[in-house]
């Protein structure tokens, strides 16, 4: 049983980070009912929809459906919603209405801009939220334009994971106080918080304003990605001097006169030399050279290749709970391990009854069960 066994969660269906929050909590053992609009239950078939007890289709604009959802909220520990600010209130499912009924409820609100501020009512996506936090600007090679880091930094890193952290913190506090609270998780806030280390470096004068010239943003030639002879790539992270020395040795450059590693003026010379040498062998050849040594050099793998890598296979990093390749649950707990479980379909009547609905109410919401 997972660490969150016994925690009951209502997830009001959304996109982006909302389902990922539910996935994390479900992997850890929470019991989750996903509430979706009629005909909108496609997300559970995806990896981020795994582990729920099932999906309840309900038109939240219908007072009867809303009241039924409120009945479920009465016995829940957590509610997750990702509407624009004010929408849940207009539906009669805002935090005041829910906390009045269930004082211990943790009411988690996941948005891009947050619940207040001039942009709060506006639409947006991951790329927009991380653009105003300053993070997108940093994903830039010198002289080029920023490259969106998929939707991993805003939706999932700065959004879902911070919201999940807020939920767990509020659950712990509620055990002592007996009172729930609202978690206002915004992707702009979370992505900004993820950049705390960079802001610290800037404060110490160790980070230039323009991207592509710093230690970790492709400015340093010993922390970058290089193209191999077969058009594949290797990742080089030889930051510390001892790793850098092994990197040079693996390239066959240990005895060649080169600028010092810390000589930023010499970085263009190093980059040109590394590029030429690395282009002379295939990715497999470089992997064979560097795998046995601590030079911090690894192959850049595709999604499918990653699943087949011996290290990932040894740790079962990827699984197929429903036949679809997807990442396993993380992190790993020794006594109450998390588990990636199958995605579920529509909720059944017995589950709704276990959450406090009458048999008649449950049968109405789950007529096919």
Active-site amino acid positions: 125, 155
**Dist CA 191 CA 163 (whole Å):** 12
**Dist CA 295 CA 236 (whole Å):** 8
192 within 8 A of 132, measured Cβ to Cβ: no
For residue 140, give every residue at least 6 positions away whose Cβ sits within 8 Å of its Cβ, in sequence order, or none. 146, 147, 211, 212, 217
**Dist CA 244 CA 295 (whole Å):** 6
355 within 8 A of 33, measured Cβ to Cβ: yes
CA distances for 17 relative to 53, 303, 335, angstroms: 19, 21, 28
**For the packed helices 187-194 and 161-177, what is the interaxial angle rounded to 10 degrees?**
100
For residue 103, give every residue at least 6 positions away whose Cβ sits within 8 Å of its Cβ, in sequence order, or none. 178, 179, 180
**Dist CA 44 CA 342 (whole Å):** 9
- In 72-124, the DSSP E strands lie at 78-81, 106-111
326 within 8 A of 47, measured Cβ to Cβ: yes
* Rg from Cα positions in the chain: 25
Altogether, the residues listed in the chain come to a count of 369
106 within 8 A of 39, measured Cβ to Cβ: no
CA neighbours closer than 13 Å in the CB half-sphere of residue 148: 12
Does the bond joining 11 to the residue before it have cis omega, within 30 degrees of 0?
Answer: no
Q: Residue for token digits 């106080």?
A: 177
Handedness of CA 286, 291, 294, 296 (dihedral sign): positive
**Dist CA 128 CA 247 (whole Å):** 38
């Amino acid at each position: 049983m997972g660490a969150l066994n016994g925690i009951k969660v209502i997830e009001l269906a959304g996109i982006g980070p909302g389902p990922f929050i539910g996935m994390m909590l479900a992997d850890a053992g929470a019991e989750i009912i996903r509430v979706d609009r009629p005909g909108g239950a496609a997300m559970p078939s995806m990896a981020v929809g795994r582990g729920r007890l099932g999906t309840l289709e309900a038109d939240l604009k219908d007072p009867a459906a809303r009241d039924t959802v409120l009945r479920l909220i009465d016995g829940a520990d957590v509610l997750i919603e990702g509407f624009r600010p004010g929408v849940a209130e207009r539906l009669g499912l805002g935090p005041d209405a829910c906390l009045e009924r269930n004082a211990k409820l943790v009411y988690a609100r996941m948005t891009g801009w947050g619940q207040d501020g001039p942009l709060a009512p506006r639409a947006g996506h991951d790329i927009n939220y991380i653009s105003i936090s300053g993070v997108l600007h940093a994903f830039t090679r010198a002289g080029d334009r920023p490259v969106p880091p998929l939707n991993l930094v805003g939706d999932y890193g700065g959004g879902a994971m911070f919201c999940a952290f807020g939920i767990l913190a509020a659950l712990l506090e509620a055990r002592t106080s007996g009172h729930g609270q609202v978690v206002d998780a915004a992707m702009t806030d979370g992505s900004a918080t993820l950049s705390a280390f960079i802001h610290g470096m800037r404060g110490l004068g160790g980070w230039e304003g323009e991207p592509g010239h710093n230690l970790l943003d492709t400015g340093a030639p010993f922390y970058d990605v290089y193209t191999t002879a077969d058009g594949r790539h290797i990742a080089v992270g030889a930051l510390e001097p001892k790793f850098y020395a092994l990197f040079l040795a693996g390239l066959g450059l240990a005895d060649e006169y080169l600028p010092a590693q810390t000589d930023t003026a010499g970085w263009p010379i190093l980059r040109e030399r590394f590029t030429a040498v690395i282009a002379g062998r295939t990715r497999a050849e470089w992997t064979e050279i560097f795998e046995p040594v601590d030079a911090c050099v690894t192959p850049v793998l595709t999604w499918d290749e990653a699943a087949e890598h011996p290290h990932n296979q040894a740790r079962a990093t990827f699984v197929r709970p429903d036949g679809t390749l997807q990442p396993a649950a993380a992190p790993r707990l020794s006594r109450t391990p998390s588990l990636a479980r199958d995605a579920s379909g529509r909720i059944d009547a017995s589950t709704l009854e276990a959450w406090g609905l009458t048999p008649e109410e449950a049968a109405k919401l789950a007529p096919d069960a």
